[in-house]
């Protein structure tokens, strides 16, 4: 009788194992990068509803220049002249002059397409025009006009009175955003065929983009637009374009993965830490056990690797070399000392008196793998600066662009982050349409709703695509901000991430992942013949039900894969080394969700899921581990190991009491202190300085201070004059010679 339930359980477990065994699923073909190719990124800028507008802007152009037969045939000076004329018109107050000129300018930025032009040629033409436009002073002007248009109260009032808002309401705004986006996206790439002049122009553009245009830079203008949109004041804003432009602006001005890595290495060197953690695993033959910091001779390593692979076919990527934190060493020492010596010495990892030899050896190994992150270093430096306000080195960022961005974001970071999260929630595929939530679809919905089935299918695809692009832009943006600020200063990163956590980012991301991820990453929400260059270059082919259904083969959708990975990375950044936030992952039952997303066979995605799982296995209990051995071994294989880590057998279910509020509160105090010291006005830092202020010896202070004279003195001042002034000999000449001596 006892055997039957047991048997049932065994069966169940086997079934579970079978579910886990997904080796048959093919790998997802996807390469993570900062963004897609320029063609794809450009195509994602436009929604399919905007199709007619391409033609309209072309017509606007031909009305402006009726005598020009072919744009490509013009000389550079003639092109410049035309652009200047358009830019001149854009300054005009009259809508009738300005708006057609903007559309014509957009047409030129798009590359002055004509039917039958090749895509490469269009791209080249667009690039050329963007450079010309920039050299005519187009960038500042359009940013300014964007600002003007977004703050235009009249249009907001008119639009808000309409019964329904649609894509036509954001016509001018969209044109500005399109032009800016094309400029930014074009300048993001350096083409190998660029002339030296163009390279200089590119640099100047990127510099100018990070500079304020009349006290606000483009980032802030766009963030403010996002906030306004979320507040419901301006529901007609084309939010997708705003977010895309914001993401790209940050990407261009701060730099992508490559720059982040470079900045990090440099910052580590400046802090006196080794440039990077030496990743090399000593191989099994005991050969080549080199010391840390030998990453400079990479070339030799390369040849070694090739030799190795010839010997034994390396089927699996080597696991990253284990790391250990100073904190873990301290914990280890505390434990051993209390065991062998009987008392503890805090903050000392060199005194080994009374410890047996094997412990020495263990410590030696740990110290060889020690890794001090930039964040830890900065935390210590900040503590020190607080203790010794005069002598300690003050934090001084080397990355000016990043620093000035933080400074300008700082006053409103909470609103910005919450707005981003709100939009993310509204555009996640699992979101239910609520009446009170913000409507992110305004800039796809046409003025009149489709009547045929085909049209509504097309609109459906467009809407999904629109949401996916929004998610992509937001996830890309947040991840970039987090990474850059983490390199710049750990507390800047903490401030942003705390605001994200307070905005319920953790459950939000989990909710996002709580769907069929495999089908999300393979959605086919695109219609190739309607994508940007194709829809204007090729002859119009009718969109039929078949074309809507079978487009593309079994490939993964780049943008969705990209946003999934980004969201996982954000989640990991938020929860890493934060006990209470890891507990939040437990509370929200993230393990089954994460485990399910392991179905997607992609190395990078897997790694981040496993990282998140590893952080919480300790708290999931023995039973969970026992029944999820596949996952456990994947963690063992792929994730970096920490020395002395008890992730696989730790059992403190409620060993450590955790208090979310308290932990976040103390972190908040630290962050506030940091912000006050470095960016506050009338701040605590100055108060300390005032106490020790230099004694004021300036002569002007004498004239400035008011002297109270007593009544007695006033009555007898004549006597005082007689005695102290008139009778005393004054040598005025000395005053003169005094000034000469100086």
Binding residues for another protein (CB under 8 A) = 77-78, 80-82, 84-85, 87-88, 91-94, 97, 134-141, 144-145, 147-148, 151, 197, 200-201, 203-204, 207, 211, 214-216
CB 309 within 8 A of CB 318: no
Nearer CB in complex with another protein: 17/203: 203
DSSP code of 428?
Answer: S
Least CB distance to another protein at residue 215 (A): 6
Cβ atoms within 10 Å of 341's Cβ, excluding its own = 14
Cβ atoms within 10 Å of 360's Cβ, excluding its own = 11
Nearer CB in complex with another protein: 78/722: 78
Nearer CB in complex with another protein: 88/437: 88
Which value, to the nearest 10 degrees, does the dihedral of the CA atoms of residues 24, 30, 32, 33 take?
Answer: 180
Least CB distance to another protein at residue 144 (A): 6
Nearer CB in complex with another protein: 131/332: 131
Least CB distance to another protein at residue 205 (A): 9
Nearer CB in complex with another protein: 34/151: 151
The C-alpha angle with vertex 179 and arms to 178 and 181, in degrees rounded to 5, equals 65
Least CB distance to another protein at residue 412 (A): 17
How far CA 479 is from CA of 287, 472, 497, 574, in Å, comes to 39, 11, 10, 10
Q: Determine whether 98 is exposed, middle or buried from the number of CB atoms within 10 Å of its CB (0-12, 13-18, 19+).
A: middle
Nearer CB in complex with another protein: 218/469: 218
3-state secondary structure (DSSP) of residue 218:
helix
Least CB distance to another protein at residue 147 (A): 5
- The residues, ordered by sequence, that sit 6+ positions from 650 with a Cβ below 8 Å of its Cβ are 617, 618
CA 203 – CA 63 distance, rounded (Å): 34
Least CB distance to another protein at residue 199 (A): 9
Nearer CB in complex with another protein: 140/640: 140
CB 502 within 8 A of CB 584: no
Residue indicated by tokens 């802090």 = 271
What stretch of H or E contains 461?
helix 453-488
Terminal-residue alpha carbon distance, the chain: 109
Least CB distance to another protein at residue 138 (A): 8
- The residues, ordered by sequence, that sit 6+ positions from 122 with a Cβ below 8 Å of its Cβ are 110, 111, 113, 533, 537
Nearer CB in complex with another protein: 118/211: 211
Least CB distance to another protein at residue 204 (A): 4
Nearer CB in complex with another protein: 91/300: 91
Least CB distance to another protein at residue 180 (A): 15
CA 208 – CA 690 distance, rounded (Å): 38
């Amino acid at each position: 009788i006892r055997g039957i339930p047991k048997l049932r359980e065994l069966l169940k477990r086997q079934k579970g194992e079978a579910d886990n065994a997904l080796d048959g699923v093919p790998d997802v073909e996807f390469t993570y990068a900062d963004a897609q190719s320029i063609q794809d990124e450009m195509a994602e800028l436009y929604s399919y509803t905007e199709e007619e507008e391409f033609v309209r802007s072309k017509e606007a152009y031909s009305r402006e220049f009726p005598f020009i037969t072919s744009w490509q045939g013009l000389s550079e000076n003639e092109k410049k002249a035309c652009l200047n004329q358009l830019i001149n018109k854009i300054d005009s107050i009259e809508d009738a002059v300005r708006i057609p000129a903007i559309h014509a300018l957009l047409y030129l930025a798009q590359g002055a397409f004509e039917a039958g032009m090749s895509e490469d040629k269009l791209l080249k033409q667009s690039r050329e025009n963007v450079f010309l436009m920039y050299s005519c002073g187009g960038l500042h002007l359009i940013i300014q006009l964007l600002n003007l248009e977004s703050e235009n109260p009249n249009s907001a009032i008119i639009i808000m009175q309409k019964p329904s808002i649609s894509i036509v309401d954001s016509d001018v705004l969209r044109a500005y955003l399109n032009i800016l986006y094309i400029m930014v996206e074009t300048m993001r790439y350096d083409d190998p065929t660029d002339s030296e002049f163009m390279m200089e122009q590119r640099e100047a553009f990127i510099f100018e983009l990070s500079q304020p245009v009349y006290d606000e830079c483009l980032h802030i203008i766009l963030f403010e637009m996002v906030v306004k949109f979320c507040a419901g004041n301006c529901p007609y804003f084309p939010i997708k374009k705003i977010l895309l432009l914001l993401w790209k602006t940050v990407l261009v001005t701060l730099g992508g993965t490559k720059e982040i890595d470079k900045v990090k290495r440099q910052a580590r060197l400046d802090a006196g830490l080794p440039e990077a953690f030496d990743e090399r695993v000593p191989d099994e033959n005991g050969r080549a056990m080199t010391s840390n910091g030998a990453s400079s001779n990479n070339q030799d390593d390369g040849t070694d690797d090739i030799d190795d692979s010839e010997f034994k076919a390396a089927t699996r990527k080597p696991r990253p070399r284990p790391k250990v934190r100073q904190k873990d060493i301290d914990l280890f020492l505390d434990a051993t000392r209390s065991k062998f010596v009987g008392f503890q010495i805090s903050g000392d990892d060199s005194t080994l008196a009374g410890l047996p030899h094997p412990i020495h050896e263990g410590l030696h190994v740990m110290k060889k793998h020690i890794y001090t992150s930039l964040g830890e270093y900065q935390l210590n430096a900040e503590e020190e600066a607080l203790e010794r306000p005069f002598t300690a080195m003050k934090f001084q960022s080397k990355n000016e662009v990043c620093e000035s961005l933080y400074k300008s974001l700082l006053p409103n970071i909470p609103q910005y982050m919450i707005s981003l999260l709100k939009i993310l929630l509204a555009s996640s595929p699992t979101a239910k349409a609520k009446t009170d939530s913000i409507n992110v679809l305004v800039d796809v919905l046409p003025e009149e709703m489709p009547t045929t089935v085909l049209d509504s299918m097309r609109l459906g695809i467009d809407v999904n695509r629109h949401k996916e692009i929004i998610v992509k832009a937001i996830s890309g943006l947040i991840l970039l901000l987090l990474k850059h600020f983490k390199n710049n200063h750990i507390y800047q990163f903490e401030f942003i991430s705390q605001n994200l956590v307070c905005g319920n980012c953790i459950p939000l991301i989990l909710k996002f992942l709580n769907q069929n991820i495999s089908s999300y990453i393979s959605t086919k929400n695109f219609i190739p013949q309607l994508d940007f260059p194709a829809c204007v270059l090729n002859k119009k082919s009718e969109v039929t039900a078949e074309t809507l259904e079978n487009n593309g083969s079994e490939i993964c959708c780049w943008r969705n894969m990209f946003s999934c990975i980004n969201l996982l990375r954000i989640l990991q950044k938020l929860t890493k080394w934060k006990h209470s936030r890891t507990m939040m992952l437990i509370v929200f039952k993230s393990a089954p969700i994460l485990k399910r997303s392991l179905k997607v066979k992609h190395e990078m995605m897997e790694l981040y899921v496993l990282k998140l799982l590893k952080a919480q296995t300790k708290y999931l209990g023995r039973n969970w581990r026992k029944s999820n051995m596949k996952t456990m071994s994947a963690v063992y294989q792929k994730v970096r190991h920490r020395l002395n880590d008890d992730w696989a057998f730790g059992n403190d279910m409620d060993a450590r009491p955790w208090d979310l509020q308290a932990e976040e509160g103390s972190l908040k105090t630290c962050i506030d202190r940091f912000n006050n010291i470095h960016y506050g006005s009338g701040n605590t830092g100055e108060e300390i300085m005032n106490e020790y202020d230099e004694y004021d010896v300036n002569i002007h202070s004498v004239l400035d201070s008011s002297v109270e004279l007593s009544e007695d003195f006033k009555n007898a001042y004549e006597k005082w004059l007689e005695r102290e002034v008139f009778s005393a000999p004054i040598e005025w000449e000395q005053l003169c010679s005094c000034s000469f001596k100086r």
